[in-house]
Amino acid sequence: MAISAPGVGSNLDVNSIVSQLMTIEQRPRTLLDAKEAGYQAQLSAYGQLRGALSALESAVGGLADPARFEARSATVGDTSVISASAGAAAANATYDVAVTQLAQRQSLSTAGQASATTAIGSGASTVLTFDFGTISGGTLSNGIYTGANFALNGALASRTVTIDASNNSLQGIRDAINAANIGVNASILNVGGANPYRLVLQSAPGGNAASLRIGVSGDATLAGLLAYDPAASQNLTQTVAAQDANLTVNGLAITSGSNNLTDAIQGVTLGLAKVGTSTVTIGRDPTAAQQAAQAFVKAYNDLNTMLHDLTHFDATGSTSGALVGDSAARTIQSQLRNALSSALAGGNSNTLRVLSQVGMAFQKDGSLTLDNGKLAQMLTTDPAGVARLFASGGAASDSLIAIAGSGSATVPGSYAVEITQLATRGQLIGSAAAGLTITAGANDVLTVSIDGTAATLTVPPGTYTAASLAAQVQSMINASSALRTANAQVSLSEAGGVFTLTSKRYGSASTVSVSGSAAASLFGTAPSATAGTDVAGSIGGFSATGLGQRLTGAAGSPTTGLALDVTGGSTGSRGVVSFARGYAARLDGLLQGLLARDGAIASRTTGINATIKDLDRQRDVLDRRLADIEARYRKQFTDLDSLMSSMTATSTFLTQQLQQLQQLQSSGK
Shared domain check, 28 and 85: no
> Is residue 174 a part of any domain in this protein?
yes
Does residue 428 contact residue 533 with C-beta atoms inside 8 Å?
A: no
How far is it, in rounded angstroms, from Cα 78 to Cα 63? 34
Q: Across the chain, what does the average pLDDT equal?
A: 90
Whether residue 378 is contained in a domain is answered as yes
Has residue 349 got a pLDDT over 60? Answer: no
pLDDT digits (tens, 9 = 90+) for 560-581: 999 999 999 999 999 999 888 8
Domain assignment present for 663: yes
Neighbouring residues of 62: CB distance < 8 A, sequence distance ≥ 6: 68, 291, 292, 295, 296
Phi, psi torsion values for 560, nearest 5 degrees = -50, 125
Q: DSSP alpha helices (H): ranges in 443-496? A: 466-479, 481-485
Q: Would 239 be classed as within a structural domain?
A: yes
The answer to whether position 3 is within a domain reads no
pLDDT tens track for 55-77:
999 999 888 888 888 888 999 99
Residue 418 confidence class, pLDDT cut points 50, 70, 90: very high
Whether 189 and 202 map to the same domain: the answer is yes
DSSP summary character for residue 210 = G
Instruction: Give yes or no for a contact between 148 and 137, defined as CB atoms under 8 angstroms apart.
Output: yes
Least confident of 270-274, 573-577, 595-599: 595-599
Q: Do 557 and 415 fall within a single domain?
A: yes
Element housing 147 (H / E): none
Taking the C-alpha atoms of 630, 631, 633 and 637 in order, what is their torsion angle to the nearest 10 degrees?
A: 140
Strand segments, DSSP code E, in 63-120 are: 72-76, 82-86, 93-101, 107-109
Do residues 425 and 510 touch, judged by C-beta distance below 8 A? yes
Residue 343 contacts residue 354 (beta carbons within 8 Å): yes
**Angle formed by the axes of helices 600-668 and 27-63, nearest 10°:** 160
Whether residues 270 and 336 fall in one domain: no
664 domain-assigned? yes
Kindly state whether residue 311 falls inside one of the protein's structural domains.
yes
Give yes or no: residues 299 and 359 share one domain: yes
Neighbouring-strand partners of residue 101: 246
- Least confident window among 289-293, 592-596, 624-628, 641-645: 641-645
Helix (H) or strand (E) holding 144: strand 144-146
Q: Say yes or no: 515 and 544 in one domain.
A: no
- Together in a domain, 78 and 130: no
Per the structure, the count of domains in the chain is 6
* 451 plus 562 within the same structural domain: no
> Residue 316: is its pLDDT beyond 80?
no
Per the CB < 8 A criterion, the answer to whether 88 and 269 are in contact is no
The residues, any chain, with a CB within 8 Å of residue 534's CB and separated by 6 or more, are 421, 423, 506, 507, 508, 546, 547, 548
Q: Report which residue type is found at 49.
A: L
CA distances from 394 to 55, 397, 483, 554, 664 (A): 27, 10, 36, 18, 124
Q: Is the pLDDT of residue 4 over 50?
A: no
CA dihedral 435, 436, 438, 439 (to 10 degrees): -80
- Rounded mean pLDDT, 80-87: 95
- Cα–Cα distances in Å, from 164 out to 113, 122, 123, 168? 18, 8, 5, 6
Q: How far apart (Å, rounded) are the C-alpha atoms in residues 80 and 84? A: 11
Q: 559, 403 in Cβ contact below 8 A?
A: no
The Cβ of residue 106 has, within 10 Å, a number of other Cβ atoms equal to: 24
pLDDT score of 648: 78
Task: Indicate whether 419 and 474 sit together in one domain.
Answer: no
Same domain, 50 and 93: no
Question: 417 - beta bridge partners?
Answer: 539
What pLDDT does 348 receive? 46
Q: Are residues 256 and 161 in the same domain?
A: no
| pLDDT tens readout for residues 135-193 | 999 999 999 999 999 999 988 888 899 999 999 999 999 999 999 999 999 999 999 99
- Say if CB 243 and CB 101 are below 8 A apart: yes
With respect to residue 518, please indicate whether it lies within any of the assigned structural domains.
yes
**459 and 495 share a domain?**
yes
Residue 207: which domain range?
Answer: 107-243
Give 597's pLDDT tier (boundaries 50, 70, 90): confident
